[in-house]
Structures are given as structure tokens and as C-alpha cells.
């Protein structure tokens, strides 16, 4: 009886020893390893190709391959039709779609030039899923210590993809800066959306775009510009959404030729380029809405749907 127990113990020790030796050989993580919580949060890979601006193929150090969808960003499409309504302020017209296609091609080239052939670091976000709906890894790509995902936003090559990830606040801030400066794809927001516009003494009121993103109430805002050649008096003009929420411009408020103003949904102190509707809550629907601009006589001047 004692001899059998002794032999059993020897077999267990031998088995454990063999597993330990086999495990020590697995230095480079495989594709399956990357999708588990055993990884410390990052892995070194080589980028082998780029399908578009936000999707790349990579190779691990052990030779296995994977596809990475860059976390938190969305570049315009190059292989299928774009939906302008997904990009704040871009006219929902064929011209808007064509402009986005060109921006998507620029984004793809930027990604190829920067990443393909480079050894980079994939970093994973604890607030995000490790893989997306199509089985692709969701990750930040760091090249030379810089977050490439954020670079896409800062250079106007991508919008922030509305999802949960820890760096979203930084990404949205960078997006707002790119939008304000009409960088990259955001230059598409300057296209004519086909609205009638309204002329007053050669001043023309145009709703340039409606921004629904951001974390604060005042981040929700509408951009209105005088695209005419003369001064535009907006006294008594009203801005409305589809639900009938309405804001009336203050008496004496004017815009010179080429000047613009932001109408924020929150509260604050009015000045020459920022007005505050003080709605107390968000009114612009994230999933689509229409902004209407009426003159002091109630005549429609312009509208923008998104």
C-alpha cells in the first residue's frame, strides 16, 4: 500500500515538472493569449498592412497574425459608402459623402505611411472589450511612445467613436479642437448643405453644423455663420429643434461678413461668438434631428438635418 502511494506521488511530481518546462517555453504571447486577462495590458507587434485608416493587420513575435481595430476612433470609409450623418456638421448630400471619401483616402494613407512595417505596441483598455463584433482586437497603437489613435483625431483623420474607453475625454477634447479649426475631414462641414439660407442686406445666415457630443451641457451647440458679404442682424431670429425647443437671439446681435456664433444649450455669459440658450438639458438628439432657423417674421431662413 505504501509503495503504491509512493509511486503515485512520483507520477504527480513528474507531471507538474513537465508542465512547468513546457510553460517556460511560451515566452511570446499567441493570438489566443492576447484575448485573455493574463496579458499585462500591452504586447509588441509588427504592422504588416492597413485595410483603411482605423484597421490594421499585425504579426506577433512568434509569427502568428491578428487584425486590430483602433480603439475609440472612426475614419471615413474607403471601401463602402460613407454616411455623412455620422460626422457632425457634414452635409447629408452626395457632395458630403464624396468629401468624406477623399478624407478617408487621406486617413488610410496616413495610417499606411506611419504604421506599416513598423514595430509598435498594442495597449488594451480596461474599460473596453478586448475584441469587437467581428473578432478584431480593440487596442491603442503606440508608435515611438505616441498614441497613434489620438494622432488620428488631432489631425482630423477620424471622429471619436461613441463607445466606452478610459481616454474618451481626451479624445473628445482633441476632436473639438480639430472641428473648430476645420482640420482634415472637418473641412467637409463647410460644404453647402442645400439649405435656402436667408439674406438680409447681403448678410446670409447659415446653420453650419450641430454638435451633440461632449460631457458638459455647453458642449452641445449649434454653429451659425454669416456667409454673406454684408452685416447680418439676427435680432428676433429663433433657433428650434424638431421637438419645438426654441431660442430667440437677443436684440441688437449682429454678425459681420464671415463671422459666426455658437449657440450653446447650457448657461453662460453671452459675447460676440458665444450665446447661451439656457435650456437646462440637452435638446439635440444624438441619433438625428433637424435644426431650424427662422427670421424675426417667422420665415424659415435655413435648416440642417443630421
Residues annotated as part of the active site: 69, 77, 136
C-alpha cell at 140: 491603442
Query: Left, alpha or beta for 97 (phi > 0: left; psi -120 to 50: alpha)?
Result: alpha
Instruction: Return d(Cα 94, Cα 79) in angstroms, integer.
Output: 16
Contact 189, 286 (CB under 8 A): no
- Cα three-residue angle 98-102-105, rounded to 5 degrees: 135
C-alpha cell at 190: 463647410
C-alpha cell at 68: 486590430
DSSP state of 58: E
Q: Can you name the residues that pair with 247 across neighbouring β-strands?
A: 239
3-state helix, strand and coil shares in percent for the chain, rounded to the nearest 5: 25, 30, 45
Q: Can you name the residues that pair with 300 across neighbouring β-strands?
A: 294
C-alpha cell at 204: 446670409
Q: Can you name the residues that pair with 209 across neighbouring β-strands?
A: 223
Instruction: Return d(Cα 24, Cα 51) in angstroms, integer.
Output: 35
Taking alpha carbons only, the member of 91, 87, 96, 99 closest to residue 304 is 91
Instruction: Return d(Cα 227, Cα 207) in angstroms, integer.
Output: 10
Amino acid at each position: 500500500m505504501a509503495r503504491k502511494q509512493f509511486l503515485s506521488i512520483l507520477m504527480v511530481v513528474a507531471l507538474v515538472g513537465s508542465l512547468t518546462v513546457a510553460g517556460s517555453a511560451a515566452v511570446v504571447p499567441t493570438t489566443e493569449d492576447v484575448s485573455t486577462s493574463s496579458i499585462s495590458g500591452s504586447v509588441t507587434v509588427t504592422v504588416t498592412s492597413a485595410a483603411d485608416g482605423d484597421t490594421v493587420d499585425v504579426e506577433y513575435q512568434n509569427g502568428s497574425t491578428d487584425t486590430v481595430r483602433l480603439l475609440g476612433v472612426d475614419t471615413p470609409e474607403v471601401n463602402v459608402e460613407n454616411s455623412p450623418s455620422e460626422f457632425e456638421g457634414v452635409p447629408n448630400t452626395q457632395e458630403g459623402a464624396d468629401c468624406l471619401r477623399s478624407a478617408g483616402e487621406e486617413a488610410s494613407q496616413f495610417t499606411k505611411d506611419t504604421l506599416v512595417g513598423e514595430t509598435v505596441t498594442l495597449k488594451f483598455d480596461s474599460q473596453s472589450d478586448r475584441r469587437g463584433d467581428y473578432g478584431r482586437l480593440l487596442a491603442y497603437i503606440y508608435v515611438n511612445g505616441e498614441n497613434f489613435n489620438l494622432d488620428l483625431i488631432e489631425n482630423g483623420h477620424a471622429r471619436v467613436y461613441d463607445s466606452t474607453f478610459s481616454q474618451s475625454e481626451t479624445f473628445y477634447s482633441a476632436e473639438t479642437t480639430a472641428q473648430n479649426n476645420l482640420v482634415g475631414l472637418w473641412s467637409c462641414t463647410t460644404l453647402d448643405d442645400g439649405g435656402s439660407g436667408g439674406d438680409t442686406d447681403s448678410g446670409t445666415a447659415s446653420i453650419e453644423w450641430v454638435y451633440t457630443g461632449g460631457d458638459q451641457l455647453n458642449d452641445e451647440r449649434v454653429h451659425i455663420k454669416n456667409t454673406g458679404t454684408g452685416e447680418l442682424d439676427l435680432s428676433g431670429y429663433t433657433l428650434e429643434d424638431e421637438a419645438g425647443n426654441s431660442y430667440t437671439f437677443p436684440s441688437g446681435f449682429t454678425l459681420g461678413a464671415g463671422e459666426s456664433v455658437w449657440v450653446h444649450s447650457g448657461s453662460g455669459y453671452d459675447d460676440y461668438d458665444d450665446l447661451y440658450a439656457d435650456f437646462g438639458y440637452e435638446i439635440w438628439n444624438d441619433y438625428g434631428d433637424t435644426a431650424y432657423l427662422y427670421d424675426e417674421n417667422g420665415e424659415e431662413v435655413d435648416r440642417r438635418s443630421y
